[in-house]
Amino acid sequence: MAEDSHVSSGVPLRDYAIADAYRDICAGAPPWVALNEFQHAWYESPAELRAQLAAAPLLLPPDPTEEQWRWAVFCAAGVEWLCAQAELPCPAWALDARLQLAEPWYDFDAPGAHKEDVRAYLRERTPQPFARRNIYCGEKVLTDKRAFVARRPTKR
């Protein structure tokens, strides 16, 4: 689908920045609910509005829990990756070198995340903005669901 067809009126369906998503995660929202809302806003918006959705830095709690810190690092990595995909400059806050995990975080602690073959697969497939911050989540993270078309065998 052409990029222009994403927007009919220039008005995004949602105005929900990454800082909003992180605020809601810290307030107890399921992380993927908040992040999906941000993703929808991002992919529904033209480039100039996408930059606005990424611009505001996260407001971290004074003493973040491990979970809150992990999601803050994920949000920074996600913004860097999304901006690179959209050929937008990454906001400085997301490149703060402190936003990094001390220990690797594999697959958001999915049931099989401890398996070595899963970990090797994720290390191989995870985009650099996440892997550099010690998050190993594979290549399907934060992708546009409208672009999802199941891969099919090539006909000979």
Partner 1 sequence: MRSVAVQQQWPITWFNDVIGDALRNNGIVPQGTLWRTYGALEVYMPEAEYILALKLLAGRPQDTPDIQALISQLGIQTRDQAQQALDRYIPDRQVQQLNQAPMTLQRMFP
Residues contributing to the site for partner 1 (CB under 8 A)? 1, 5-9, 11-13, 30, 32, 35-36, 44, 107-108, 110-115, 117-118, 121, 137-138, 140-141, 143, 145-146, 148-153
Task: Using the minimum distance from each CB to partner 1, give the nearer residue, 30 or 61.
Answer: 30
Q: Single out the residue of 73, 141, 78 nearest to residue 110, CA to CA.
A: 141
DSSP-derived 3-state class of residue 104: coil
DSSP-derived 3-state class of residue 106: strand
CB of 92 to partner 1, least distance (A): 26
8-state DSSP, 56: S
CB of 147 to partner 1, least distance (A): 8
8-state DSSP, 99: -
Interior/surface letters 45-75, b for 16+ CB within 10 angstroms, e for the rest: beeebbeebbeebbeeeeeeeeebbbbbbbb
Task: Using the minimum distance from each CB to partner 1, give the nearer residue, 80 or 107.
Answer: 107
CB of 43 to partner 1, least distance (A): 8
CB of 146 to partner 1, least distance (A): 6
